Structure 1
Amino acid sequence: MNSLLKFITCGSVDDGKSTLIGHMLYDAKLLFADQEQALELDSQMGSRGGAIDYSLLLDGLMAEREQGITIDVAYRYFTTEKRSFIVADTPGHEEYTRNMAVGASFADLAIILVDATHGVLVQTRRHTRICSMMGIQHFIFAVNKMDLIDFDENRFDKIARDIRQMMSEYDFASMKILPVSATEGDNITLKSDRMPWYRGTSLLTYLENINVATEEDDYAFTMPVQRVCRPDRTFRGFQGQIETGAIRIGDEITTLPSNEKAVVSRIIDAGRDVEASDRGHAVTISLDREVDVSRGCVLVKDTAPYVGTLFTAKLLWMDDTPLVAGKNYYLKLGTKMIPAVVMNISHKIDVNTGNEIPADTTYKNEIVQCDISVSDKIVYEKFKNNQALGSLILIDRVTNMTSACGVVLHSLRRSDNLTWQKLDVTREFRANQKGQTPATIWMTGLSGSGKSTVANALEKRLVSLGKHTMMLDGDNIRMGLNKNLGFKEADRIENIRRISEVSKLMNDAGLITITSFISPYQRDRRTARDIIGNESFLEVYISTPLEECERRDIKGLYRKARAGQIPNFTGISSPYEAPEHADVTVDTTNMSVDECVDKIIEALEARFGK
């Protein structure tokens, strides 16, 4: 028997993906008796006038059956005399592209269906590009619904030419194009006598015999560490799945990113001691000496993946919220989860032509190339060299939704030439010299809420108490340091990032920094907290309502915004996301300035001392 084959069915909506797999299972007698009876009964109320609706075998959700479409990924395991299979039947609708990408991430082979009456469509091209991006090297194009075009050879040949032209830009190991009828069963499990001009094998026969094994480097061992196991003081082991290569007792390995070397003293595989283990096995490895290893580190032998903080990646954007440069996410790569920021967007990739399109914003289901920076050194590799260390996802830090999946294209070496310079005059020395605890008081609120007034009064109070301060006001900063930034989302994100870095430098100088910025987005304030450090960050929400701010309209900005003269104005044409858990909340509607300052000073003393 050949090895297990994991494959995906994809393509445009209503191309017959579920029907094709369902018919294959039915004709090959791979169903239990009760499943067959249930299918025949369910088909009585199906969309085929009582004839068997094979798609019902995989479309299990009620919404799928009602609409006649696939929404979620349906996994099905089956075995023939020659091979075992796991198939992921994925949706064709553009709305559910993210579900299709999940299915593609596990597969060795893709069956991409093409409707013979429509030919190659945009979604066909998108799914082909995603499959290639996910590392699939084996493709089958099933030109379906041949019965609707009277099994026309010329029409099939034209579609086959379009497919070959589309595939000319991709690297792949094998490609098969065959005509089928999913509803009638032609060329699914047996050769059809209605297409004598087709001389190839049936789909099932081809699947049973194709070899998708890859030639892995026998010597290049990599294992991302998932867990450090320490049941007692006598044992310390590193647990994870071996992604490439093999390992034996006595082998010298390198731990990354610490770059320490040690010798393997023990290997535990499936609960028992073994001399060696290889790719695909989940093992516990013990070393002959103590090394600096934790979850997210990687054990390697005879290979040298990248260790750094900057790289270029290709992403499939899956979030309803657009991507703009400067946004912060959690990046999951291997077993490592780490804060990351999309530094810039190089270009989008046209799903039809593959052409690069200049862009500064990316929307749902678009493919984009961008540079990503992470907060600390991680271990990664080009996806084409190591899929485990070259594939990633981005997770929204507020909603925890998966925003994108992607692959590493190459490293950006400029980060390797930078080294943090340690200073003899430290932050602690400057703080002791000034007799205070450095901190950043981050004031946020709508325009006209009273941020600058309260910040100014707070600074005067702190100075009168003998403190050393620096105030950063939104307008003042935009007239100098950030005068090149506008008010689009990307500019707002960069504005807050720069302010956060400046505030951190002020804190390093031993100063108490007071900032007065609208900073309307939760994620940007969270980024500011991360940059400055939670231990030094005090968020103050000036919660004055919009109606009161607009009534004051100190600068006349609300009037101009209402008249359409100021686009992207927070509270009118651009949203303000109020803090959910601010350290201090004050409302200048019913509190005097002195009362606001008293409350902030009280919070400062409770948090940082006098």
Structure 2
Amino acid sequence: MDILRFATAGSVDDGKSTLIGRLLYDSKAIFEDQLQAVERTSRARGTEYLDLSLLTDGLRAEREQGITIDVAYRYFATPRRKFIIADTPGHIQYTRNMVTGASTADLAIILIDARKGVLEQSRRHAFIASLLRVPHLVLAVNKMDLVDYSQERFEQIREEFTAFASKLNVTDLTFIPISALHGDNVVSRSENMPWYQGSSLLHHLENVHIASDRNLVDVRFPVQYVIRPQKATDPRFHDYRGYAGQVAGGVLKPGDEVLHLPSGLTTRIAAIDTYDGPVQEAFPPMSVTLRLEDDIDISRGDMICRPHNQPTVTQELDAMVCWMSDTTKLTPRAKFTIKHTTRTARVLVRDVQYRLNINTLHREESVGALGLNEIGRVTFRVTQPLFVDEYARNRATGGFILIDEATNATVGAGMIVDAR
């Protein structure tokens, strides 16, 4: 079974945590003691129903306020597929956490309250999902029970959001009317909305095609660790030297000719090892160990690729940056640590070209800095070469994070637009 990573997003009180709780509850993915704890807390809070949002809102502050603050990860499986859910916050001050949750997602569910329609935060999250190149977008129009399951209201929201999404880079957009509280169209089709002919949310999640979303053309293997057993008791491993990492692109097979960066030397793959033994091919997002036919000086942060299909080797980056720090701003001449694939270096901000107005998608020139939750285009100079692709081509080799050198806190996430 493959794994689908999906993130929920949307404005405050749109029902994201309740939706995930409903998915877990109706798919029988909750332990008995968890359910009992939720029942006790629901009674203590005086609610007349089982508050399924408590299954994901684990922080005490979240339960007290009835909101999501941090990104909550949950796991469940059906006979068809395994799922990793990132429940992201709706409040504007926690938009940075939404970036974190959606950065590795195959699909994003944006919830909209049927009574309120498309809000500013709904647009912001849809824009961020498109910026992060999340391949599949589902607009779940929630709380349909509070508008009498009105088809007219659903169609109004669909038309409004479709007009906004036409300005974004969204390749797959699906609309589903639901009621997370009552379970309409979440796991099973709803009898309250006979006018809706589509599938339920879970059925869509189980069947959405994600295999073609991976880049299987450009071979990219960032080296994470060199495995060289020091005290191998098994004679087979006396001369073992392997290069461990996660395949970021392409398909690797024993016998393939590969090129090592930064040296430019070529060799061939002797074998591909995994925890369960050797395999005959490796592809994203498998974690494997490569053994090569020739001894090459390879270390963490290096890249293995094809001789005639190489990433750009550069120290100049042009990127869209989501700024996540509430204590500092992104300003020209500022210095940070950049973490790109498995390579870490120092970086200098050369220029903040413009900031994006997320509501209008217009560029605001001459801003000089980026503040918390703001997104803009920035140019950087790196102290050592990085092996990069444009983010639109490969999310793994086109993305990076910025780290404050003083506090070691992650302060920004970037997507490479142009590698010079």
> Where on the TM-score scale, by shorter chain, does this alignment land: which range?
over 0.9
Query: Helix, strand or coil: the match of 2:402?
Result: strand
The CA deviation at 1:271 is 6.4
The CA distance in 1 between the partners of 2:242 and 2:185, in whole Å, is 52
**Equivalent residue, structure 1, for 2:318:** 312
TM-score, with length taken from structure 2: 0.92
**Equivalent residue, structure 2, for 1:118:** 116
**Equivalent residue, structure 1, for 2:375:** 367
Residue 398 (structure 2) pairs with residue 390 (structure 1): yes
The CA deviation at 1:343 is 0.7
> 1:270, 1:282 within 8 Å by CA — same for their partners in 2?
no
Residue 28 and residue 280 in structure 1: after superposition, are their counterparts in 2 closer, same or farther (change >3 A)? Answer: closer
Deviation per residue, 1:453-477 (Å, 9 max, x gap): xxxxxxxxxxxxxxxxxxxxxxxxx
Larger Rg: 1
Residue 152 and residue 21 in structure 1: after superposition, are their counterparts in 2 closer, same or farther (change >3 A)? Answer: same
Residue 263 and residue 83 in structure 1: after superposition, are their counterparts in 2 closer, same or farther (change >3 A)? Answer: closer
The CA deviation at 1:244 is 1.6
Deviation per residue, 1:225-275 (Å, 9 max, x gap): 112233358443322112222223332211112212122234322264445
**Equivalent residue, structure 2, for 1:331:** 338
Equivalent of residue 292 in structure 2, options 264, 281, 287: 287
The CA distance in 2 between the partners of 1:215 and 1:317, in whole Å, is 27
The CA distance in 1 between the partners of 2:191 and 2:275, in whole Å, is 50
The CA deviation at 1:379 is 0.6
Q: List aligned pairs for 1:252-263, cutoff 5 A.
A: 252-263=257-268
Residue 348 (structure 2) pairs with residue 341 (structure 1): yes
The CA distance in 1 between the partners of 2:64 and 2:342, in whole Å, is 39
The CA distance in 2 between the partners of 1:407 and 1:194, in whole Å, is 43
Which amino acid counterpart does residue 84 of structure 1 have in structure 2?
Answer: K
Residue 76 (structure 2) pairs with residue 71 (structure 1): no
**Equivalent residue, structure 1, for 2:3:** 4
> 2:318, 2:418 within 8 Å by CA — same for their partners in 1?
yes
**Equivalent residue, structure 2, for 1:149:** 147
Once the two structures are overlaid, the 10-residue window that deviates more, 206-215 or 365-374, is: 206-215
The CA deviation at 1:381 is 0.7
Query: Helix, strand or coil: the match of 2:417?
Result: strand
Q: List aligned pairs for 1:486-497, cutoff 5 A.
A: none
Equivalent of residue 255 in structure 2, options 241, 250, 263: 250
Which amino acid counterpart does residue 193 of structure 1 have in structure 2?
Answer: E
TM-score, with length taken from structure 1: 0.64
The CA deviation at 1:213 is 2.0
The CA distance in 2 between the partners of 1:338 and 1:330, in whole Å, is 6
Residue 361 (structure 2) pairs with residue 354 (structure 1): yes
The CA distance in 2 between the partners of 1:340 and 1:95, in whole Å, is 27
> 1:266, 1:286 within 8 Å by CA — same for their partners in 2?
yes
Residue 107 and residue 344 in structure 1: after superposition, are their counterparts in 2 closer, same or farther (change >3 A)? Answer: same
Which amino acid counterpart does residue 411 of structure 2 have in structure 1?
Answer: S
RMSD in angstroms over aligned alpha carbons? Answer: 1.9
Q: List aligned pairs for 1:449-528, cutoff 5 A.
A: none
> 2:214, 2:284 within 8 Å by CA — same for their partners in 1?
no
Residue 215 and residue 160 in structure 1: after superposition, are their counterparts in 2 closer, same or farther (change >3 A)? Answer: closer
The CA distance in 1 between the partners of 2:135 and 2:291, in whole Å, is 36
The CA distance in 1 between the partners of 2:292 and 2:37, in whole Å, is 55
The CA deviation at 1:300 is 0.3
The CA deviation at 1:125 is 1.3
% same residue: 42
> 1:47, 1:53 within 8 Å by CA — same for their partners in 2?
no
Residue 217 and residue 325 in structure 1: after superposition, are their counterparts in 2 closer, same or farther (change >3 A)? Answer: closer
The CA deviation at 1:123 is 1.3
**Equivalent residue, structure 2, for 1:548:** none
Residue 275 and residue 79 in structure 1: after superposition, are their counterparts in 2 closer, same or farther (change >3 A)? Answer: closer
Once the two structures are overlaid, the 10-residue window that deviates more, 310-319 or 36-45, is: 36-45
> 2:391, 2:398 within 8 Å by CA — same for their partners in 1?
yes
Which amino acid counterpart does residue 355 of structure 1 have in structure 2?
Answer: H
**Equivalent residue, structure 1, for 2:175:** 177
Which amino acid counterpart does residue 10 of structure 2 have in structure 1?
Answer: G
Once the two structures are overlaid, the 10-residue window that deviates more, 337-346 or 180-189, is: 180-189
The CA distance in 2 between the partners of 1:154 and 1:253, in whole Å, is 57
> 2:316, 2:419 within 8 Å by CA — same for their partners in 1?
yes
**Equivalent residue, structure 2, for 1:26:** 25
Query: Helix, strand or coil: the match of 1:280?
Result: coil
Which amino acid counterpart does residue 43 of structure 1 have in structure 2?
Answer: S
**Equivalent residue, structure 1, for 2:53:** 55
The CA distance in 1 between the partners of 2:408 and 2:206, in whole Å, is 40
The CA distance in 2 between the partners of 1:252 and 1:312, in whole Å, is 31
In structure 2, runs of 5+ residues without a counterpart are 231-237
The CA distance in 1 between the partners of 2:28 and 2:298, in whole Å, is 51
Residue 45 (structure 2) pairs with residue 46 (structure 1): yes
The CA distance in 1 between the partners of 2:24 and 2:135, in whole Å, is 25
Deviation per residue, 1:560-607 (Å, 9 max, x gap): xxxxxxxxxxxxxxxxxxxxxxxxxxxxxxxxxxxxxxxxxxxxxxxx
Query: Helix, strand or coil: the match of 1:100?
Result: helix
Query: Helix, strand or coil: the match of 2:133?
Result: coil
> 1:269, 1:277 within 8 Å by CA — same for their partners in 2?
no
Higher RCO structure (Cα 8 Å, ≥6 apart): 2
Deviation per residue, 1:63-103 (Å, 9 max, x gap): 11100001111111112233322211111111212221111
Residue 111 and residue 217 in structure 1: after superposition, are their counterparts in 2 closer, same or farther (change >3 A)? Answer: closer
Query: Helix, strand or coil: the match of 1:78?
Result: strand
The CA deviation at 1:33 is 2.6
Query: Helix, strand or coil: the match of 1:352?
Result: coil
Structure (1 or 2) with the greater helix fraction: 1
